[in-house]
Structure 1
Amino acid sequence: MRSFTKKSELPAEKAARVPPGQYLTEKWPVLHYGSIPRFDPARWDFRVFGKVLNEFKMSWVDFQKLDKAAVTADMHCVTTWSRLDQHWEGIPFSKIVELAKPLPEAKFVIAHSEQGFTANIPIEYCLR
């Protein structure tokens, strides 16, 4: 069995959900750049700073106390693969907004991750 299926080979109802240039995969591809960081809950933190009324920092224990939500959505990776109907669970971005209270001039979220990687995302997109 192949790992990826071209959009042109998919049934119409699935093909309509796959963006141009993407391939559907049934298995999660393992892609990583750099070393794989070890997770240490004692050292992990979640920080919100910048154009917000309330900057804050949370430990893993405190972060896990926030109410979680579940959603089923399609995943489209920049490396041209897609997976449909994936179940995700986590802290809704609306909860972070509620705690941080972004200032009116704040238009983007910059997510910082391991090894210096960042991604900037419009706030309105995060609230969908």
Structure 2
Amino acid sequence: MILYIFNSMYDLNNYFINKQYAKVEELGDRLADIDPLIDWEVFRPIIKSMYDNQSEKGGRPNNDEIVMLKMLVLQTSYGLSDFEAQKQANDRISFLKFLGFPDKVPDQSTIWLFREKMIENQIDDAIWEEL
């Protein structure tokens, strides 16, 4: 019975999110136009290569590589600071849709660390050239 209630709440939330997003889409969503033009999965192995916790020992799970890259795209496109990117991604339904409605939006520290790790591993130029 509890599982049924959870699924109903999930469906109810999805219904309202989709209903709200439809209003945004009617007005025009530039991010929704851009998103399907890019094969985001091409970037996953490039980004994943910069993490050293892929061994059997494991480690703390990484944030989704594509969500992190899309956060940087949002920052660059809208001229946002790390804090403002975090704030806007939590507030704007078009940003959430672009990110794929993640369970958790990366915080400002995670965004900063991701960008620094890309620079440290010298993959930042390759990523931006591919984009």
For CA contacts below 8 A with separation 6 or more, give which structure has more relative contact order. 2
> Counting strand residues as a fraction of each chain, which structure ranks higher?
1
- Greater radius of gyration (CA): 1
> Counting helix residues as a fraction of each chain, which structure ranks higher?
2
Q: TM-score range by the shorter chain?
A: 0.3 to 0.5
TM-score, normalization by structure 1: 0.33
TM-score, normalization by structure 2: 0.33
